[in-house]
Chains A and B, each alone.
Chain A
Amino acid sequence: MASTTTTTAPPASLAERFRLWRWRNRQTVIAFSVLTPLLLYFVVFTWVPILVMVAISFTEWNVIQWPPTFVGLENYQEILTDKYYHNVMWRTATIGGTVLVLEMVVAFGIALLLNQPLKGRAIYRTIWYLPVVISGAVLAQTLAVFLYPARFGALNSLLIALGGEPVIWTRSEFWMPFWVIMFSFWRGVGTGVIFFLAGLQSVDPSLYEAAQVDGAGRWSLFRHITIPQIAPVTLFIFITKLVGSLQIWEAPLVLTFGGPNHSTRTIVYSMYSDAFGNLTMGMAAAQSILLLIVLMVLSSTNLRLLRGHD
């Protein structure tokens, strides 16, 4: 940037003094004239609603009755002590955790392969990203057809062709969480692949060349150059995937409405059914605030880990 001007005589008028102040702080002035509207918008449409939900979480409210009944911390107490909510949280952690690990591992593996000089890798890359660009609700509808009971379901017709017994998938407490995991993985893994690939391609090739001159082997290059170089992008993928996989709810909703026997009820699905099904807004709000706190704590811990890593 240009150097700051030095003034010898003190400015006479107020207007001139203002102009001088603006010149001295021009970066701040530009930044805030751009960011103030954004901040206002962000506060009004994101943080005000959150604060409203915090307020609602201390009440019992069925949307119709006014005013809501104040109940203090009872909702939070119920979530932290009630068995139903324990199960919901446990399922969210297991389903979300499995999806997260699967997506990270597979996405990294596929991205490594796609980063090799292979013919037709653009086609493979396109295929892996396709499920991401298609509507989740529509895709879940497709999966529902595969899980259709009896022999009309695609999977069952395969089982029958192989000489097995058809499975009533949608009634199985073992299989439905499995299919929710598979669906979420299938839908989300493409973003991981594409971001890992972007990370791998942004590694400076001269680093590899220099190390090769020093006689480093394949594994050593991978361990000492690739891994540290893509650490930031890995963290970015991890945090966004973490936030996403703890919020899985579309697949349980479209496939079995959280069933069978609540076996695919994740916390966001439970929020949804408390808010729009049972009309217990206080409970829905308390769950969402707890989830928000967990997500923020987990993400900021991860960020701090990276900062400490430097």
Chain B
Amino acid sequence: MSIGKRPLWLSIFMYAVLTLTSLVILYPLVFMVFSTFTSTEAYYRTAFFPIPDTFDFHNYQAILGDCSQGCLTKSIVITAVRALWYIVWAMLISILGGYAFARLTFPFKNAIFMFFLSGLMVPPLLTTLPLYIMLARFPLAGENDIWGQGGHGFVNDWPALGMLGLVNVIALFLIKQNYEMIPADYEEAARVDGAGTMRVIFQIYVPMLRPALTAVAIIEFVAIWNDYFGPLIFVGGNRDITPVALTVQRLIYAYTQRQAETVADFPLIFAAATLMSIPTILVYLALQRYFVQGLVGVGLKG
């Protein structure tokens, strides 16, 4: 939306504002990464901004080798698999559900859609306790009898990591909006050629929905990778299946406690935080090209 030529002072002003504010946003993150390459003594000498003096990865090696809270490497694998599982479900549900809401007419369509959207308002903490009871008392699971008594149910077990929150309402909304941006001509042409609903969805629409689906994948991956409270409640008692956010949280807590009498080894703590942040940053950097493009659909009414 550039109109004519921008005066020079305005360009300088815009760059200045963007650069300064971006530096403020970036400062804590750069602080975090830089401090992992700083020795503890140097860290405490210049606390406002750590100046790296040990360019090796000993802090990272220490974190990766620390199995006191459940091995981090194992947690990373568990979380990656879990993220994949959730991404597949979010995509499948929003591709099919989005199609129904965007392209079909059926009774109570709006009411049902609003009903799903209501899920956005529900504070996650609200449903935690009833869900815990539901998982713990699930009949015939985890040594439970038919009445759900006697065992631990799904709590502290694998299913607790993959059963909850599979319907991602934001993803459904986003994909539905993106369906509505695609002209109906494509579908009609395919229908004339005799394509069924599933073929229309997966061969006509899905390729066109790729940016939006990428956005869904990013959002879901970030959410699962950083999911800390859910695992704490539902699998907190089983260190063999702890996802990465909880493991890192426990490591950081343990380091803070262990060193409370002396001075905390912040470079080590920051190494844990950095390690935890790398995958989401990489995924975002790799896919961000599609990200904004995929979100464009939310601007539509409907």
Contact = CB atoms under 8 A, between A and B. Distances in A.
B191 interface: yes
B121 interface: yes
A28 B112 CA distance: 13
Contacts of B120: 239-240, 243, 299
16 contacts: A35-B97, A42-B119, A45-B164, A45-B167, A126-B285, A128-B25, A131-B25, A135-B228, A135-B277, A143-B28, A189-B25, A198-B293, A198-B299, A247-B123, A268-B125, A281-B129
Main secondary structure of the interface of B (DSSP, over half): helix
Contacts of A194: 291-292, 295
Interface string B10-38: 01001101110110011011011000000
B130 interface: yes
A125 B105 CA distance: 39
A118 B130 contact: no
Interface string A34-72: 110011011001101110110010000000000000000
A129 B249 CA distance: 23
Q: Which 5 A-B pairs have the closest CB atoms?
A: A49-B130, A49-B127, A135-B226, A198-B295, A157-B47
Interface string B117-147: 0111111011111110110000000000000
Interface of B: 1-3, 6, 11, 14-15, 17-19, 21-22, 25-26, 28-29, 31-32, 44, 46-49, 93, 96-97, 99-100, 104-107, 109, 112, 115-116, 118-123, 125-131, 133-134, 163-167, 188, 191, 197, 218, 222, 225-226, 228, 245, 248-249, 252, 263, 266, 269-270, 273, 276-277, 280-281, 283-285, 288, 291-293, 295-301
Interface string A262-299: 00000010011001000001001000110110011001
A53 B29 contact: no
Interface in A171-202: 186, 189, 194-195, 197-199, 201-202
Given A134-B29, A141-B269, A271-B125, A198 B296 contact: yes
B211 to A, nearest CB: 10
B126 A53 contact: yes
A167 interface: no
A115 interface: yes
Task: Place the interface of chain A in its size category.
Answer: 35 or more
Interface in A111-165: 113-118, 121, 124-139, 141-143, 145-146, 151-158, 161
Nearest to A138: B273
Contact of B3 (A56, A124, A134, A221): A221
Contact of B126 (A45, A49, A189, A239): A49
Given A31-B104, A134-B281, A201 B292 contact: yes
A127 B26 contact: yes
Contact of B276 (A45, A121, A135): A135
Among B21, B107, B249, B266, the most chain A Cβ lie within 10 Å of the Cβ of B21
Nearest to A143: B28
Interface string A183-227: 000100100001101110111010010001000001001000010
B277 A118 contact: no
